Structure 1
């Protein structure tokens, strides 16, 4: 397969070129103007950030993309779908409150915000996935599927279930309705290390499925209720909750690729990723840890697979921040090479599975040409 073009710009600025101007130039250089936006509706898929987390993308970046779409004659809205876990984004009302609290509103971004799967996460479209090995009919937020064009604007960071959260994670998992997210998460189910658990109950508060109980100061996860969302892993203060050590995480990654295919197939799409504030965990956390690597830059491409691959390669070349979660993990690492920052951060994950599967089903290619601006 021919190499996909991925455009990159670093974060250095001058008095005549700030970051927002650089993003505008990058997106246009990468070819977004090739898309016919005239009188068509574009959905910009973004993560508004869980309140308390400060690593999410600032709304200023979104406005740059919104303004470009408008310049090209399109109509545009920002979107995300409701979460599976308990938090501030589990229904559309709270989700909008959270977005506004984090600075996303029509006045700062220049467009409306629409929660893709409706008030309670049940407004979904059923999309056939003929190439799917695990997903035959994806459940995607209806507003996302009603759009004519899809643009992803992604904060590239670590992730406790998939190794990293890039464009495919933003699109596949992010555009799934609540039922869709349950389908993707239904494999990897964690367990509790009883010797480590202190019975604090933090995991109970974050579990939307009431799958966790504490008895005699030890937590237990009921796998008949657990959907494998992995939130309990991230919030445990003593690291007592352990992901399944089987192929389940790999299946989740493959389902994310198949859901991404369902979202993007048969309509124009364009993708932007920012490697900034690379926290070890997802922006779904109500907190963000010290970045694991320094800020790197902004990238854009028509190919989400190539874009994710380029982001990983750039991130793995970056030095590790000394007081970060990754630095701590490297002191424990035995089987994972230091040059793979994301395997070292989350040894139980294998991010390569998602990209390999996405390439297999025709979503893009890992083979790319990096064009630096």
Structure 2
């Protein structure tokens, strides 16, 4: 049987607002069929980079958290630290950003736990033996949860084509080392000009790869390095980086394998809202004009089917004329019927992620859309 994807628009009535409509949607989709009694439920959401205003409003997260509690569960909001330098690189800055963007316990009804700890190095190593990933490095708090709920802001993305449920889970739940693995085929290296010789990389490395050279700066012995990326997480001055050589298709396939590592062997429930569809990820410290109008809210037990349904509905929408996509299309009539997300980022191909997700058993690209 095709997996079911439940859908409702953002249209409301005087009898039902958007938050009530979301509650009705997740209930109709069977969220209460999951046994939440005394179970920890991780609600994976993007808190938004400081300065970005396109992320999902915390009001939506409260609806989900309240329903989990109603069903006897113990919800918490979570995301893992970023690999790049920004306002969510460590747990303290990440929490500050989450709270300033409205995701405080007083507003959402549940606590925030940063998935991979203070410096992004608190991870669970999940055996996978995939085509690209042998051991996935996932934030420990995410893997400690009994149930995973992904709550995704569906939008464009400069590398993945779009940021959907699979990306929210696969890249978003990974530790900093896990993010590096998905982005890179190389090993970390040290910028000697930035290095302050604090030896934090030496202390964290289990393979004695970082060594101090003549100028007092650290250097990574590439023969000893296994590419785990833990040194990137602990460097206090961001002197350690990776060789970003992974192609976009390979990154998308790794992302699907990481999502499988997160979802496998436990109940999962997936929610996506196609609203404020910015061309780029919410990791940006800014957001641009949406490329298409708001579409609606979708829910499924299958993250691949959910992403496919979101893409299909997006591609039925008109392009907003003064957006980046609208400007690209101006005077370029032959591209008007192409995919909205690959038109926005022509070097991307989101189908690589979903096709690989099908191959590894993460989900199906075929689905039955049930509109309520």
**Is this contact kept in 1: 2:42–2:147, CA < 8 A?**
yes
Q: Which residue number corresponds to residue 137 of structure 1?
A: 135
Q: Which residue number corresponds to residue 204 of structure 1?
A: none
Q: Which residue number corresponds to residue 349 of structure 1?
A: 348
Q: Which residue number corresponds to residue 181 of structure 2?
A: 183
Q: Which residue number corresponds to residue 212 of structure 2?
A: none
**Is this contact kept in 2: 1:187–1:249, CA < 8 A?**
no
Deviation at 1:329, TM superposition (A): 2.4
Residues 1:117 and 1:333: Cα distance change in structure 2 (over 3 Å)? farther
Deviation at 1:83, TM superposition (A): 0.2
Distance 1:334 1:209 in 2: 45
Q: Structure 2-normalised TM-score?
A: 0.84
Deviation at 1:338, TM superposition (A): 3.4
Size of the alignment, in residue pairs? Answer: 323
CA deviation digits over 1:161-206, x for unaligned, max 9? 0000000000000000000000001059xxxxxxxxxxxxxxxxxx
Q: Which residue number corresponds to residue 159 of structure 2?
A: 161
Matched, 1:13 2:40: no
Q: Structure 1-normalised TM-score?
A: 0.84
Q: Which residue number corresponds to residue 60 of structure 1?
A: 59
Distance 2:70 2:306 in 1: 25
Residues 1:176 and 1:138: Cα distance change in structure 2 (over 3 Å)? same
- List gaps (5 residues or longer) in structure 2: 187-236
**Is this contact kept in 2: 1:336–1:343, CA < 8 A?**
no
Deviation at 1:334, TM superposition (A): 9.6
Indicate the structure (1 or 2) with the bigger Cα radius of gyration: 2
**Is this contact kept in 2: 1:117–1:142, CA < 8 A?**
yes
Q: RMSD between aligned alpha carbons?
A: 1.9
**Is this contact kept in 2: 1:209–1:226, CA < 8 A?**
no
Deviation at 1:210, TM superposition (A): 5.5
**Is this contact kept in 2: 1:41–1:148, CA < 8 A?**
yes
- List gaps (5 residues or longer) in structure 1: 189-207, 212-224, 229-243
Distance 2:247 2:272 in 1: 27
**Is this contact kept in 1: 2:116–2:140, CA < 8 A?**
yes
CA deviation digits over 1:250-270, x for unaligned, max 9? 000000000000000000000
Residues 1:333 and 1:47: Cα distance change in structure 2 (over 3 Å)? farther
**Is this contact kept in 2: 1:317–1:339, CA < 8 A?**
no
SS state at 1:266 partner: coil
Distance 2:334 2:76 in 1: 44
Matched, 1:152 2:153: no
Q: Which residue number corresponds to residue 97 of structure 2?
A: 98
Deviates more, 1:338-347 or 1:104-113: 338-347
Deviation at 1:333, TM superposition (A): 6.4
Matched, 1:82 2:85: no
**Is this contact kept in 1: 2:180–2:242, CA < 8 A?**
no
SS state at 1:175 partner: coil
Matched, 1:174 2:200: no
**Is this contact kept in 2: 1:333–1:344, CA < 8 A?**
no
Distance 1:356 1:73 in 2: 36
